[in-house]
Amino acid sequence: MSAEGVSVDVAAYATALADGIEVALPSWVERVVAEIMTAWTGSVPPEVADAAQAAGHEAAAMVGPRVRALLESDIDEQRTTPLAILRGAAVAYPSGVLQAAGVPPVVRDAAAEELFPDDVYDLVPASFADVAPDLADLGLYWGASKAFEHKRRHQPKTSGGNR
């Protein structure tokens, strides 16, 4: 990140999180397709596994750059979060594979239906850890460093040297 005033820690964590998301997306797509498909039919047909693999790579190629662009932008310009992008965009890839395979929608609770009406397979990740366990700490570190930097930038200056 080249924006003036951005903490190196925010940039480092942002890069690590973007890298981690791009690496994790293909496996996540394959995993959630396999979980739903196995719950529905007891197995994953090879053609569905192949479609999930292709969709996972497409998700990484299409969603990964959106996440990276967000994380590379100045923190004061970020109007969403990387998790929100995953919830809104990445879920379409495994959903498309499942829909093409003829898998019916799953039963979801009323809150999930209201919050994510298009997520008929209940795939929306609640946290980064739902995408990949190693993303949990990266997301936490990025969020904390972003909050610290935001506070540093926007906290009113006080006289007398105390904050």
Task: Write down the pLDDT at residue 1.
Answer: 39
Quote the pTM value. 0.87
> Could you tell me the residue range of the domain that residue 88 belongs to?
8-152
Answer whether residue 163 is part of any domain. Answer: no
pLDDT band at 162 (very low <50, low <70, confident <90, very high): low
Answer whether residue 98 is part of any domain. Answer: yes
Rounded CA gap, 54 and 61, in Å? 11
**Overall domain count for the chain:** 1
Answer whether residue 32 is part of any domain. Answer: yes
User: Can you tell me the mean pLDDT for 69-93?
Assistant: 95
Residue 131: which residues within 8 A CB-CB, separation 6 or more? Answer: 21, 24, 25, 28, 86, 90, 125
User: Can you tell me the mean pLDDT for 93-109?
Assistant: 97
Answer whether residue 125 is part of any domain. Answer: yes
Answer whether residue 161 is part of any domain. Answer: no
Answer whether residue 157 is part of any domain. Answer: no
Q: Which of 48, 58, 47, 115 is nearest to 87 (CA)?
A: 115
Rounded CA gap, 138 and 140, in Å? 5
Answer whether residue 1 is part of any domain. Answer: no
Answer whether residue 23 is part of any domain. Answer: yes
